[in-house]
Copies of this chain bind each other. A is one copy, B any other.
């Protein structure tokens, strides 16, 4: 008589996501995940190859969620406005799930599935194309996403603690990058 399934891959990834965010990566143990989904640790290996693979699944789920968030940003007729709104949505997401966000960039960065990242940043590529022209769209999008990732990474790492207005610095970045990409005066 087959034992009934007592959990699922989805439940496991969700549990891991929650533990990561509330307790940090070091406390994201197989035992903690197992306990949360109501099973013993060895059973997890029926659905997940190992801890590293589980962490990768969490990172990919995070990229997907981020992409969804960006696609939900309403678009206007002005690409400059859109650029700012996308950047703010991006930052808001990172603030809401900082540990997961760090997972994507951070050290020991899990080699992320490329298609997933492309999917997530598609809206940004569109706006970059509107702003910088199709020729320079990829370079422009990379300039902008690099800045955004870097800014948020430094912010989460506490690298901006010297004071100064972080909000203002973020808006300064949006404004000047929009200028730089569109070829306007700064």
Residue of B nearest to A138 (CB): B164
Give the complex CA separation of A104 and B103 in angstroms.
Answer: 14
A173 to B142, CA, bound (A): 8
A74: interface (CB < 8 Å): no
Interface size on A, as a range, is: 35 or more
Residues on the B chain within 8 Å of A99, using CB: 107
B109 touches A157 (CB 8 A): yes
Contacts of A104 in B (CB 8 A): 157
Q: Which residues of B contact A182 (CB under 8 A)?
A: 186
> Could you tell me if B26 and A108 are in contact, using CB atoms closer than 8 angstroms?
yes
How many monomers of this chain does the complex have? 2
CA distance A176 to B131 in the complex (A): 14
Q: What mask results when residues 172 to 186 of chain A are scored 1 for a CB within 8 Å of chain B, else 0?
A: 110011011111111
A1 within 8 A of B: no
Query: Taking the nearest CB of chain B, how far is it from the CB of A123, in angstroms?
Result: 16
Chain A binding surface, main DSSP class: helix
Q: Mark A23-36, 1 if CB is under 8 A from B, else 0.
A: 01110000000000
A interface residues (Cβ-Cβ under 8 A, vs B): 24-26, 99, 102-109, 111-112, 114, 117-118, 136, 138-139, 142-143, 145-151, 153-154, 156-162, 164, 168-169, 172-173, 176-177, 179-186
Q: Could you give 28 example pairs across A and B, Cβ below 8 Å?
A: A25-B107, A105-B107, A105-B153, A106-B107, A106-B108, A107-B107, A109-B153, A136-B172, A138-B164, A139-B172, A142-B169, A142-B172, A143-B147, A143-B169, A143-B173, A145-B150, A145-B154, A146-B147, A146-B151, A146-B173, A147-B150, A149-B150, A149-B153, A149-B154, A150-B150, A150-B151, A180-B180, A180-B186
